[in-house]
Amino acid sequence: MADQSNTFKLPKGWKIIQPKSSEEWELYYGLRYEILRKPWNQDKKTTKDEWENKSVHFLLLNEANEAVATGRLQLNTPTLGQIRSMAVHHDHQGKGIGSFMINTLEKEALQRGMKTLELDAREPALPFYLKNNYSVVADSYLLFGIIKHFKMKKDF
């Protein structure tokens, strides 16, 4: 599981959900776009990919029903999952919320009987994943021509 020293507790009125309604999907994809695409002037349509229907999506909402964080478990094979779409709202980064989301995705993966989780980490996020006990296994792709990625994994 993720770093057990993570002490983030859901504040009163906050909830972690799997989006279902159109409003919830809008909030979910809105935050993914805001954090993972917009800063690099990418088009909104680049937010979604061909794996959306083969993933379990999680959205953290605050007491005002605003999106705080997203995360997604991509179901690569029955035993191999991939962590994707990790995004924490700018106002809430560095408070343990990303680790809380990793924990949520790992619990989902374990319940499904997965044995390994992999991910492609953006270089600035590398310390975050190392802290959550993921290991670098290889260099990965260059996003938008500038963001270096590292392939990381954790076995259970």
Ligand X SMILES: CC(C)(COP(=O)(O)OP(=O)(O)OC[C@H]1O[C@@H](n2cnc3c(N)ncnc32)[C@H](O)[C@@H]1OP(=O)(O)O)[C@@H](O)C(=O)NCCC(=O)NCCS
Q: Which residues here bind ligand X, judged by CB under 6 A?
A: 35-36, 86-88, 93-99, 121-122, 124-125, 127-128, 131
> Reading across the β-sheet that carries 15-17, which strands appear in turn?
15-17, 55-61, 67-75, 80-88, 116-122, 147-155, 135-143
- Least distance to ligand X, CB of residue 122, Å: 4
- Least distance to ligand X, CB of residue 98, Å: 2
What gap in Å lies between CA 119 and CA 102, rounded to an integer? 11
- Least distance to ligand X, CB of residue 127, Å: 3
- Least distance to ligand X, CB of residue 7, Å: 9
- Please identify the residue of the shown chain whose CB is closest to the bound ligand X: 98
For ligand X, give the closer residue by CB, 35 or 61: 35
Q: List own/partner pairs for 148-151 with CB under 8 A and 24 or more apart.
A: 148/122, 148/123, 149/120, 149/121, 149/122, 149/123, 150/120, 150/121, 150/123, 150/126, 151/118, 151/119, 151/120
For ligand X, give the closer residue by CB, 46 or 78: 46
For ligand X, give the closer residue by CB, 78 or 138: 138
DSSP track, 93-127? TTSSHHHHHHHHHHHHHHHTT--EEEEEEEGGGHH
For ligand X, give the closer residue by CB, 40 or 78: 40
- Least distance to ligand X, CB of residue 39, Å: 9
For ligand X, give the closer residue by CB, 124 or 145: 124
